[in-house]
Structure 1
Amino acid sequence: MATNQAPPGAEKWVPSHPADLGELKQAAAQCEGCQLHVDATQTVFGRGAPDARVVFVGEQPGDVEDQQGLPFVGPAGRVLRDAVEEAGIEVPWVYITNAVKHFRFEMRGKRRIHQTPGPAHITACRPWLVAEFALLKPEIVVVLGATAAKALLGPSFRVTRSRGQLMPWPASAHHPEDFPVDDAQAVATIHPSAVLRADDRDAAYRGLVDDLKVARAALKG
């Protein structure tokens, strides 16, 4: 769906009253803040522990996630789960979400092919991410890939330059006033889908695990 107008954004769908994560998810199911909702099957909201110690933020749902309505349940999700386990991060510690909550794709024959969300989609969906972070108080924020980095750390941030490094959070955030998480840190790394696309998958996977070990080591206790 092509348009020259900026999308209205998700703000009007975000509850104005205090809401928990379950209520946010229900509200997000109705979101029409950008044109991606037209072709996507459904909104794919975050999931995990409300008291998560580690929050993972990825790009957007993929084809499998769009069909199932859950983040990181496709091939990239399996890579991430393996890497999280190998890094020693326990599942009950984790909340996982995406910067953009609808699947952006183009049709090639009968296949839906992933397209990277644009700046307008990231901006339109930002209120959901802000609302999630208002309820989450993690020790570590793990930023998965370039799109999540643009949403959280700003357009000039380069994952390839700064991956695997601990950064203060929210001081490192693009708009720190939107992410009032005290005494937390951030680690940026590649998106697990990059492992699947890599010429040397083993090396790419090891790099992902090493970055997640940095996050694990930074957890208290």
Structure 2
Amino acid sequence: MGPNPHGGYSGPMPPEDAYTAEPFVPDGGGLPALRKAAADCRGCPLHRDATQTVFGAGAADARVMLVGEQPGDQEDRQGKPFVGPAGKLLDRALEEAGMDPADAYVTNAVKHFKFTQAEPRKRRIHKAPSLREMTACGPWLAAELAVVEPELIVVLGATAGKALLGSSFRVTQVRGTVLEEEIHGRPERLVPTVHPSSVLRADDREAAYSGLLSDLRVAARALGSG
């Protein structure tokens, strides 16, 4: 049993090694069809505790795609990516780097918020998704890439990098460089950097922000020469 004609899911969850969003991804229909279908994704257990699916946002013809890790608390509540403090910091850095945030497509490697919570009324604490959860969500990211066909992907943090480039990815080793790799069957240019939330957590926030800005300027130059 699997997805039913009404978009819901009938049947038990698959075993962990069989997690995948693949059966829920529609053929055709562009971003609106993908977003609608993703709202009912049951490809891994993360949908059980999350408020809602947080799909990507932006134009289908965006030249740059920004890929983060997963929705945070505010994104989970509002249903939109990068609307919390990290998103606001990212918008500021993009503008300073010479890229208009409105011209970018923003999304996450994982579309549901994964968190821990000591008590129901306590604050929900972000928890990094597992490799299997990232792999399960991969078909959504592949579908977004196929529709948007960005000229450049900005990889925000280690989790997004591992989702796109494999488990050996280390953001500290390649940040601020232009990589050329085949991703989901397409040749892509990528510029990795840190996730903006790491800037907010940094002891020296000013230095961390300067590093993010420097990496995004590399991306802006790569986009300009694309």
Give the TM-score normalised by structure 1.
0.91
Q: Counterpart in 2 of 1:209?
A: 213
Over the residues paired in the alignment, what is the CA RMSD in angstroms? 1.5
- What are the within-5 Å matches in structure 2 for residues 110-149 of structure 1? 110-149=122-161
Deviations 1:55-110 (A, max 9, x none): 00000000000000000000111111111111010134200000000000010331
- For the 8 Å contact 2:16–2:132, the answer to whether it is kept is no
Q: Counterpart in 1 of 2:5?
A: none
- What are the within-5 Å matches in structure 2 for residues 57-136 of structure 1? 57-109=67-119, 110-136=122-148
Which amino acid is 1:136 matched to? V
- For the 8 Å contact 1:29–1:42, the answer to whether it is kept is yes
- Is 1:194 paired with 2:187? no
Which amino acid is 2:34 matched to? L
CA distance in 2, matches of 1:78, 1:66: 16
SS of structure 1 residue aligned to 2:17? coil
Runs of 4+ in 1 over 6 A off after TM superposition: none
Alpha-carbon offset, residue 169 of structure 1: 3.8
SS of structure 2 residue aligned to 1:156? coil
- For the 8 Å contact 1:133–1:179, the answer to whether it is kept is no
> 5+ residue gaps in structure 2?
1-13
- For the 8 Å contact 2:19–2:132, the answer to whether it is kept is no
How many residues are treated as equivalent by the alignment? 210
CA distance in 1, matches of 2:191, 2:71: 21
CA distance in 1, matches of 2:15, 2:88: 37
Instruction: Evaluate the alpha carbon distance shift between residue 77 and residue 137 of structure 1 in structure 2; reply closer, same or farther with a 3 A threshold.
Output: same
SS of structure 1 residue aligned to 2:153? strand
Alignment equivalent of 1:180, drawn from 163, 178, 186: 186
Which amino acid is 1:90 matched to? D
Which amino acid is 1:193 matched to? S
SS of structure 2 residue aligned to 1:108? coil
CA distance in 2, matches of 1:75, 1:205: 13
- Is 1:47 paired with 2:71? no
- For the 8 Å contact 1:55–1:142, the answer to whether it is kept is yes
- For the 8 Å contact 1:134–1:179, the answer to whether it is kept is no
Which amino acid is 1:83 matched to? A
- For the 8 Å contact 2:153–2:189, the answer to whether it is kept is yes
Alpha-carbon offset, residue 7 of structure 1: 4.8
CA distance in 2, matches of 1:94, 1:148: 17
Give the TM-score normalised by structure 2.
0.89
- Is 1:218 paired with 2:212? no
SS of structure 2 residue aligned to 1:152? helix
CA distance in 2, matches of 1:112, 1:208: 26
Deviations 1:177-198 (A, max 9, x none): x1425xx421000000000110
Deviations 1:14-42 (A, max 9, x none): 01x21200110000000001000000000
Q: Structure 1 stretch 6-15 or stretch 99-108: which is displaced more?
A: 6-15
Which amino acid is 1:77 matched to? G
Which amino acid is 2:217 matched to? K
